[in-house]
Amino acid sequence: MVDSSSDLFDYKQAFSRNIGWVTQKEQQQLRQARVAIAGMGGVGGAHLMTLARLGLGNFNIADFDRFEVHNFNRQVGAQMATLGQPKVEVLGRMALEVNPEARVRLFPEGVLPDNVDDFLRDVDVYVDGIDFFAMDARKLIFSECERRGIPVLTAAPLGMGVSLLYFRPGGMSFEDYFKFEGQSVQEQYARFIAGLSPAMLQRSYMVAPEAVNFVERRGPSTMMACDLCAGVMATSVLKLILKRGELRAAPWAMQFDAFHQRLRFTWRPWGNANPMQRLLLAFIRPVLRGQAAQN
């Protein structure tokens, strides 16, 4: 548990400029809500700080990693002063600097089978910020959210844009959409890419494709994409908690690409079993196989 307080802080004044887009009553609803975020890196850290500035009052945050120099281009907690420090501790402090009254529960070991119950306890919305390659943790959390009826949001940073997926309780599940069960790790990567980005708006402006290496578990990223993800994510969390407005659930996906200034909604019944997704997977698989062969 992280806690902090300040005689100078006043919640109503701190978040008064939200009023107009939300009512005073709705601001109090946000104050009482609890959001769980796994992953405090590029998107996860940006999600936390954006939601903290929206006035969310309760968080469960998880990450087992520490900040390194290669995080500087995209992670809000990465700076010289935090090198080598646990991401979850740094971001927990940052959230409390915005709202000292927030209740922030830390999970420095990440999310595992023996702590997932605690991680998801009393949670209104789960926000996915896990590293692309952490498939086992992602499948565990999504499965538990489905079982508990917790809405799930994932916003993927793609190039200089964002792709949003919403898994509604009682709707299409993560597994039904991505269809990971029984597949190799390499095939799961392919299916995750295809499911996150059915429109593939970012593909045409990648100028150095060799920067993507699935064998070494690395790829290019931009702060612009992380910031766009945070804006889209916080807006979606607001809509769910306040029950305001439509939010299209899977098999719908939304992708906005700032480089091309294009917005696309895609609808893929049967998820990755959809004929259009099968064609996309046929394109992605040889790329991954080629990388594996080179290594």
For residue 110, give the amino acid letter: G
Mean pLDDT of 40-51: 98
Place of tokens 């509604």: 168
pLDDT for 191-236, tens place per residue?
A: 999 999 999 999 899 998 888 887 788 889 999 999 999 999 999 9
CA-nearest of 249, 240, 53, 258 to 162 is 258
- Look at residue 66 and give its three-state secondary structure: strand
Handedness of CA 25, 96, 166, 107 (dihedral sign): negative
Mean pLDDT of 41-59: 98
CA distances from 128 to 20, 43, 52, 154, 174 (A): 28, 9, 16, 5, 12
For residue 5, is pLDDT > 60?
A: no
What number of CA atoms fall less than 13 Å from residue 214's CA on the CB side? 22
pTM: 0.94
Mean pLDDT of 269-293: 88
If 0-12 CB within 10 Å is exposed, 13-18 middle and 19+ buried, where does residue 8 land? exposed
Q: Length of the chain in residues, anyone?
A: 295
Highest mean pLDDT among 5-14, 267-276, 282-291: 267-276
For residue 270, is pLDDT > 80?
A: yes
Mean pLDDT of 76-99: 98
For residue 105, is pLDDT > 60?
A: yes
In whole angstroms, give the CA distance from residue 106 to residue 91.
10
- Look at residue 125 and give its three-state secondary structure: strand
For residue 293, is pLDDT > 70?
A: no
CB 150 within 8 A of CB 125: yes
76 pLDDT tier (thresholds 50, 70, 90): very high
